[in-house]
């Protein structure tokens, strides 16, 4: 089936089987391999992408459901070769080790801070409860997201 | 020569992060090749039985399904179905218990591979798996170690027993000590089956070049060189005809990267069909196929003097090994026998560990194998003894810690012996870490809360001590090469599994070479880089790989000095190598790029003569237990560990906190529950619970450099596992403290809400 949507600011058109998940479409058809697949049943959160502003498990959404959507993946979080303020904070706080869950955590945190740049630690932990990380113990992740809030506040008038 | 130390000891931000944060990491699942086929694996749905019928015809009629490989195809090509060798604790006695690469006639656990389907897409391969007809005549299921120990139903009839191996850790005369002791106490404990669960499931991409007779397998991790030898032997190829490539790896923790059936099946399939074959494990598959760990029961006793001096330990540990002995399946049973005594001075020990096969997924190592379990058993015994004797359990621990002046201190000898049958703690001031933990945690103040009911919850506070073995030998290799642009490429036989290896090795090399970290490029793991390598296990990469890089760099600096001296007409001893230039102080100097044409390169193999490092520490925990729900809140947690020397405090801190939270998962949440038919009841991440972001917000870690290791030139000690070791015992003792008024003794993990509720409500 043909499907058209926008990924990281660029329009794309792909032909997929109806059973193809958005995650597989992004990875296999569009070769955006930053989106990772960790469980394929919507629990681990590694495949989280931002669809029309909302953090979505791309393993639980069919590619055909994305018709007409605007999608942001981890590859679209920073411009050029630099790191975004959120990514910079992750590096500074050592909020990633193996890096496998990181794309889903970054997209989730980005969606959260875009909507709620004042989110407190408890709110951040609550929102990230749907993203499993086996390496860090989450403490540096929460510290990094807290630090990145300043950049989102500055952006939001 | 000026010694410039800029990176070692500094919280250097990781070089790996720049690609991981932008979605530019390259994991095995990201690789595609022209003409690549996708593999899916049919696994036994039953735990024990004989294969009566296996028919692939219907699968092969599905358009896009290209081949089905079963034991018949493998035996047809190779003359036999090969078995997977052991990597550690090898012994001829283990031969009957090894896992065949694919089930031929008998299946021994639900999840055992029976057939491999190759198709144009992963979805079509899974369709093919569903179309295969598999009939199995079921046999009685050996569902736990008690049934196994009766030896009525044997998993391996030829062996005559379900006891795969027995280890004994021994020292002094335990029986005599127990005979004469004024106080003894016996207890039973259980640690549940759980697993490492890296976030990236396994995956492999195999490419066979028929013309060259060469196989390349991507997706290697942990021990690529051992796995290369193994797969080459199983495919009946020379070792040099196979290369294993290490990509980015989404977590290891002991389980990822060991040799599994698929590590043979996928390369075999690629050669069989003459096309690249990729297999990506899904999570459900991961939970039944990848090594499980930790399932042990202990019946053990402690003997003490009235003043709390520990005189002896004695008893038996029963290990549920699962269906086969995997590559490192005997490491945990071995370790629990040798390291049961932890950091304590215990003169008489006899701990026997019985590894019994059952019809469940085979087990292997998970971060601190045998040590986590042994620490739980030992710390609980000490707590029970202190209570019986009316002693302060914290003071009793401190009193029995091995002293600084007793180093090196010999631990129990393990039989049957191996290269580490005798091992000794290398250095340490164990009481120093203890006192630091007491002070930083505010232990004396907090412990006053023990047993108090505040706002409906019982509070409990506990402290516990541990040692962490690291730096397994025999050696590690490094190759340093000066490149044309003046940078240096470091190739090391250590493997990266997400722990920050590239950054740590670059720090060590940059300091030794007087270069900036950007001028050092680290390559690791793959068999194309070096002749040999030993990999990433037993917290050994910084210890052995780091030492190899450091020593190789020192030699490369000598070569650079000599080459520069010849060009500049001065003595090599006068040449300083600093900031990418070489020359006499104050004189003319050459950029390193100008010397690259000399082909300056160094190979170095660092051997540690089988001397382990022993980091050590103390941890404390404060919990609040809700007797109405059985829920435990971790109010505060601190771990203090002396790691000898810190290369990167940022990554080290990450190891300490991350390991602690994994330990909390094992102590409170994670449980691979099986039913009596050998079926896993926790086969997805909604049922198998690991820690999430809101669970444990209050954890602190302090790392010390109080006693460097004398066993390597850097003075470092392996430090990736210490954080997890004390957690089980500590949390159980804190819960015991909280429920002391009720007299609850939590001797079974995990301390899940239903179990804690029963402890808190004994008459309900």
Picking from B281, B297, B293, the residue whose alpha carbon sits closest to that of residue B362 is B293
Residue of A nearest to B25 (CA): A34
- Shortest distance, CA B1 to any CA of chain A (angstroms): 33
CB–CB of A100 and B123 under 8 A? no
Chain B residues in contact with A78 (beta carbon < 8 A): 21-22
A9: left (phi over 0), alpha (psi -120 to 50) or beta: left
Mean pLDDT value across residues A96-124: 98
Interface test with B, best of A98, A120, A129 (most B CBs within 10 A): A98
Mean pLDDT value across residues B408-424: 96
Helices vs strands, H then E, count in chain A: 5, 5
Q: How far is CA B666 from CA B178, B371, B749, in A?
A: 32, 13, 8
User: What pLDDT score does A155 carry?
Assistant: 79
Distance of CA B470 to the CA centre of its chain: 11
User: What pLDDT score does B1 carry?
Assistant: 41
* B430, two tokens: 């164990």
Please report how the helices B649-664 and A139-155 are oriented relative to each other, as an axis angle in degrees rounded to 10. Answer: 110
CB–CB of A97 and B498 under 8 A? yes
Picking from B202, B46, B205, B64, the residue whose alpha carbon sits closest to that of residue B128 is B64
User: pLDDT confidence of B2, banded at 50, 70, 90?
Assistant: very low
Q: What single-letter DSSP state applies at residue B685? A: T
Interface test with A, best of B285, B653, B693 (most A CBs within 10 A): B693
User: Could you tell me which residues are beta bridge partners of residue B293?
Assistant: B194
Nearest to A139 among B201, B657, B685 (CB): B657
First vs last C-alpha separation in chain B: 75
Q: How far apart are CA A142 and CA A123, in angstroms?
A: 10
CB–CB of B13 and A91 under 8 A? yes
Chain A residues in contact with B196 (beta carbon < 8 A): 134
- Coil, strand, or helix at residue B628? coil
- Shortest distance, CA A157 to any CA of chain B (angstroms): 27
Q: pLDDT tens digits, residue range B224-246?
A: 999 999 999 999 999 999 999 99
Residue of A nearest to B697 (CA): A139
CB–CB of B653 and A94 under 8 A? yes
First vs last C-alpha separation in chain A: 42
User: What pLDDT score does A156 carry?
Assistant: 67
Contacts across the A-B interface (CB distance below 8 Å): 178
Q: pLDDT tens digits, residue range B69-112?
A: 999 999 999 999 999 999 999 999 999 999 999 999 999 999 99
Chain A residues in contact with B250 (beta carbon < 8 A): 36, 38, 98-101
CB–CB of B199 and A132 under 8 A? yes
Q: How far apart are CA B238 and CA B232, in angstroms?
A: 6
Assess whether the previous peptide bond of B750 is cis (omega < 30° from 0).
yes
Identify the helix (H) or strand (E) that includes residue B188: strand B183-191
Task: With beta carbons less than 8 A apart as the criterion, state whether B576 and B560 touch.
Answer: no
Backbone phi, psi, residue B161, to 5°: -155, 155
Residue of B nearest to A136 (CA): B658
Give the other-Cβ count within 10 Å of B684's Cβ: 15
User: Could you tell me which residues are beta bridge partners of residue B351?
Assistant: B169, B315
CB–CB of B200 and A38 under 8 A? yes
Backbone phi, psi, residue B322, to 5°: 85, -165
CB–CB of A100 and B653 under 8 A? no
Nearest to A34 among B24, B657, B686 (CB): B24
User: What pLDDT score does B610 carry?
Assistant: 87
Nearest to B692 among A37, A75, A129 (CB): A129
User: What pLDDT score does A81 carry?
Assistant: 79
- Shortest distance, CA B101 to any CA of chain A (angstroms): 25
Interface test with B, best of A17, A78, A97 (most B CBs within 10 A): A97
CB–CB of A135 and B20 under 8 A? no
Mean pLDDT value across residues B127-151: 98
Is a pLDDT exceeding 80 seen at residue A157? no
Burial B98-130 (b: 16+ CB within 10 A, else e): bbbbbbbebbbbbbbbbbbbbbebbbbbbbbbe
Nearest to B654 among A46, A134, A140 (CB): A140
- Shortest distance, CA B500 to any CA of chain A (angstroms): 7
User: What pLDDT score does B648 carry?
Assistant: 98
Mean pLDDT value across residues B414-437: 96
Share of chain B above pLDDT 70, in %: 99
Chain A residues in contact with B19 (beta carbon < 8 A): 99
CB–CB of A44 and B685 under 8 A? yes
User: pLDDT confidence of B183, banded at 50, 70, 90?
Assistant: very high
Residue of A nearest to B285 (CA): A39
Mean pLDDT value across residues B304-317: 98
Interface test with B, best of A137, A142, A143 (most B CBs within 10 A): A137
Mean pLDDT value across residues B491-504: 95
Task: With beta carbons less than 8 A apart as the criterion, state whether B23 and A35 touch.
Answer: yes
CB–CB of B17 and A74 under 8 A? no
- A122 class by beta-carbon count within 10 Å (0-12 exposed, 13-18 middle, 19+ buried): exposed
Nearest to B199 among A28, A32, A44 (CB): A44
CB–CB of B650 and A35 under 8 A? no
Nearest to A43 among B14, B20, B686 (CB): B686
Picking from B228, B284, B207, the residue whose alpha carbon sits closest to that of residue B28 is B207
Residue of A nearest to B32 (CA): A28
User: What pLDDT score does B508 carry?
Assistant: 97
User: What is the spatial order of strands in the sheet that A48-51 belongs to?
Assistant: A10-15, A2-7, A70-72, A48-51, A54-57
CB–CB of B684 and A90 under 8 A? no
CB–CB of B198 and A141 under 8 A? no
- Shortest distance, CA A67 to any CA of chain B (angstroms): 22
Residue of B nearest to A96 (CA): B17
Q: How far is CA B171 from CA B136, B167, B268, B333, B339, in A?
A: 48, 13, 47, 17, 12
CB–CB of A137 and B660 under 8 A? yes
CB–CB of B283 and A139 under 8 A? no
Give the pairing of strands B242-246 and B214-220.
Answer: parallel
Nearest to A41 among B200, B684, B691 (CB): B684
Picking from A131, A108, A42, the residue whose alpha carbon sits closest to that of residue B283 is A42
Is a pLDDT exceeding 50 seen at residue B437? yes
Q: pLDDT tens digits, residue range B502-548?
A: 999 999 999 999 999 999 999 998 999 999 999 999 999 999 999 99
Picking from B190, B196, B241, B240, the residue whose alpha carbon sits closest to that of residue B221 is B196
Residue of A nearest to B280 (CA): A37
Mean pLDDT value across residues B163-178: 98
Distance of CA B278 to the CA centre of its chain: 26
Mean pLDDT value across residues B723-732: 98
User: pLDDT confidence of B473, banded at 50, 70, 90?
Assistant: confident
Chain B residues in contact with A47 (beta carbon < 8 A): none
Q: How far apart are CA B208 and CA B479, in angstroms?
A: 28
CB–CB of B498 and A36 under 8 A? no
Chain B residues in contact with A60 (beta carbon < 8 A): none
Q: How far apart are CA B232 and CA B212, in angstroms?
A: 15
Computed from CA positions of residues B714, B715, B719, B723, in that sequence, does the dihedral angle turn out positive or negative? negative
* B662, two tokens: 């994994």
Computed from CA positions of residues B534, B540, B541, B543, in that sequence, does the dihedral angle turn out positive or negative? negative
Q: pLDDT tens digits, residue range B317-372?
A: 999 999 999 999 999 999 999 999 999 999 999 999 999 999 999 999 999 999 99
CB–CB of B251 and A135 under 8 A? yes
Output the average pLDDT for chain B.
97
User: pLDDT confidence of B4, banded at 50, 70, 90?
Assistant: low
* ipTM of this predicted structure: 0.98
Is a pLDDT exceeding 70 seen at residue B425? yes
Q: pLDDT tens digits, residue range A139-154?
A: 999 999 999 999 999 8
CB–CB of A97 and B662 under 8 A? no
- B256 class by beta-carbon count within 10 Å (0-12 exposed, 13-18 middle, 19+ buried): buried
Picking from B228, B355, B219, the residue whose alpha carbon sits closest to that of residue B295 is B355
Q: How far apart are CA B313 and CA B655, in angstroms?
A: 31
CB–CB of A19 and B686 under 8 A? no
B109: left (phi over 0), alpha (psi -120 to 50) or beta: beta
Task: With beta carbons less than 8 A apart as the criterion, state whether B309 and B399 touch.
Answer: yes
CB–CB of B199 and A75 under 8 A? no
User: What pLDDT score does A54 carry?
Assistant: 97
Q: pLDDT tens digits, residue range B40-56?
A: 999 999 999 999 999 99
User: What pLDDT score does B32 carry?
Assistant: 98
């Amino acid at each position: 089936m043909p499907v058209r949507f926008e990924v990281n600011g660029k329009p794309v058109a792909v032909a997929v089987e109806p059973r193809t998940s958005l995650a597989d479409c992004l990875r296999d058809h569009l070769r955006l391999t930053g989106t990772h697949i960790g469980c394929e049943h919507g629990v681990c959160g590694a495949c989280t992408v931002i669809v029309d502003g909302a953090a979505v498990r791309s393993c639980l959404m069919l590619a055909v459901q994305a018709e007409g959507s605007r999608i942001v993946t981890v590859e679209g979080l920073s411009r050029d070769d630099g790191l975004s303020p959120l990514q910079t904070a992750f590096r500074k706080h050592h909020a990633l080790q193996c890096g496998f869950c990181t794309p889903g955590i970054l997209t989730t945190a980005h969606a959260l801070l875009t909507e709620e740049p004042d989110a407190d630690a408890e709110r951040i932990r609550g929102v990230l409860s749907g993203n499993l990380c086996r390496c860090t113990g989450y403490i540096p992740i929460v510290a990094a997201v807290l630090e990145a809030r300043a950049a989102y506040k500055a952006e939001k008038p | 020569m000026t010694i410039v130390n800029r990176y070692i000891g500094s919280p250097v931000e990781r070089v790996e992060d720049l690609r991981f944060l932008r979605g530019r990491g390259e994991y095995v699942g990201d690789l595609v090749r022209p003409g690549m086929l996708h593999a899916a694996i049919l696994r036994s749905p039953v735990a024990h039985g004989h294969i009566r019928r296996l028919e692939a015809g219907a699968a092969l009629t599905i358009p896009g399904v290209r081949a089905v490989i079963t034991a018949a195809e493998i035996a047809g090509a190779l003359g036999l179905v090969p078995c997977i060798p052991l990597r550690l604790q090898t012994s001829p006695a283990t031969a009957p218990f090894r896992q065949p690469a694919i089930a031929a006639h008998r299946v021994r656990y639900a999840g055992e591979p029976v057939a491999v389907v190759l198709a144009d897409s992963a979805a079509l391969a899974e369709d093919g798996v569903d179309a295969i007809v598999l009939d199995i005549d079921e046999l009685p299921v050996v569902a736990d170690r008690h049934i196994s120990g009766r030896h009525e139903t044997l998993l391996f009839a030829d062996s005559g027993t379900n006891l795969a191996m027995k280890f004994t850790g021994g020292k002094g005369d335990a029986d005599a000590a127990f005979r004469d002791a004024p106080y003894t106490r016996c207890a039973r404990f259980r640690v549940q089956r759980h697993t490492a669960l890296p976030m990236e499931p396994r995956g492999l991409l195999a490419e066979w070049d028929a013309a060259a007779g060469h196989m390349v397998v991507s997706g290697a991790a942990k021990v690529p060189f051992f796995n290369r030898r193994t797969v080459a032997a199983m495919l009946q190829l020379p070792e040099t005809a196979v290369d294993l490539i290490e990509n980015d790896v989404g977590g290891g923790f002991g389980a990822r990267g060991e040799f599994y059936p698929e590590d043979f099946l996928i390369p075999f399939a690629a050669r069989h069909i003459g096309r690249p074959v990729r297999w990506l494990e899904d999570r459900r598959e991961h939970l039944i196929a990848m090594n499980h760990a930790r399932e042990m029961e202990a019946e053990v006793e402690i003997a003490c003097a009235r003043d709390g001096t520990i005189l002896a330990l004695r008893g038996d540990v029963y290990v549920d090994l699962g269906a086969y002995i995997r590559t490192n399946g005997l490491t945990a049973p071995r370790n629990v026998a040798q390291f049961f005594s932890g950091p304590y001075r215990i003169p008489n020990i006899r701990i026997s560990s019985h590894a019994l096969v059952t019809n469940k997924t085979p087990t292997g190592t998970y971060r601190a194998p045998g040590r986590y379990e042994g620490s739980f058993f030992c710390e609980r015994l000490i707590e029970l003894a202190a209570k019986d004797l009316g002693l302060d359990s914290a003071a009793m621990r401190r009193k029995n810690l091995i002293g600084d002046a007793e180093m090196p201190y010999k631990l129990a000898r393990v039989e049957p012996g191996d290269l580490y049958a005798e091992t000794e703690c290398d250095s340490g001031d164990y009481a120093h870490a203890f006192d630091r933990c007491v002070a930083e945690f505010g232990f004396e103040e907090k412990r006053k809360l023990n047993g108090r009911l505040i706002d409906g919850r019982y509070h409990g506070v506990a402290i516990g001590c541990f040692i962490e073995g690291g730096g397994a030998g025999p050696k590690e290799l490094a190759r340093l090469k000066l490149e044309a642009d003046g940078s240096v490429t470091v190739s090391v036989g250590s493997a990266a599994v997400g722990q920050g290896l590239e950054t740590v090795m670059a720090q060590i090399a940059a300091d030794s070479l007087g270069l900036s970290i950007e001028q050092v490029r680290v390559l690791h793991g793959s068999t194309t880089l070096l002749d040999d390598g030993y990999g990433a296990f037993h917290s050994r990469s910084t210890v052995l790989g780091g030492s190899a890089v450091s020593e190789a760099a020192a030699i490369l600096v000598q070569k650079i000095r000599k080459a520069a001296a010849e060009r500049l007409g001065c003595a090599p001893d006068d040449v300083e190598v600093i900031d990418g230039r070489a020359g006499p102080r104050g004189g003319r100097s050459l950029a390193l790029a100008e010397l690259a044409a000399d082909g300056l390169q160094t190979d170095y193999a660092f051997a540690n003569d089988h001397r382990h490092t022993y980091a050590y520490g103390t941890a404390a925990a404060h919990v609040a237990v809700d007797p109405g729900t059985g829920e435990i809140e971790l109010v505060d947690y601190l771990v203090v560990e002396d790691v000898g020397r810190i290369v990167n405090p940022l990554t080290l801190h990450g190891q300490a906190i991350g390991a602690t939270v994994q330990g909390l998962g094992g102590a409170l949440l994670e449980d691979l529950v099986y039913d009596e038919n050998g079926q896993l009841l926790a086969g997805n991440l909604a049922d198998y619970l690991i820690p999430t972001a809101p669970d444990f917000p209050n954890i602190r870690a302090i790392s010390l450099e109080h006693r460097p290791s004398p066993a390597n030139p850097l003075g470092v000690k392996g430090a990736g596992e210490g954080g997890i070791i004390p957690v089980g015992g500590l949390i159980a003792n804190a819960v015991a403290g909280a429920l002391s008024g009720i007299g609850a003794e939590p001797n079974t993990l995990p301390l899940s809400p239903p179990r804690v509720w029963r402890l808190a409500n004994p008459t309900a």
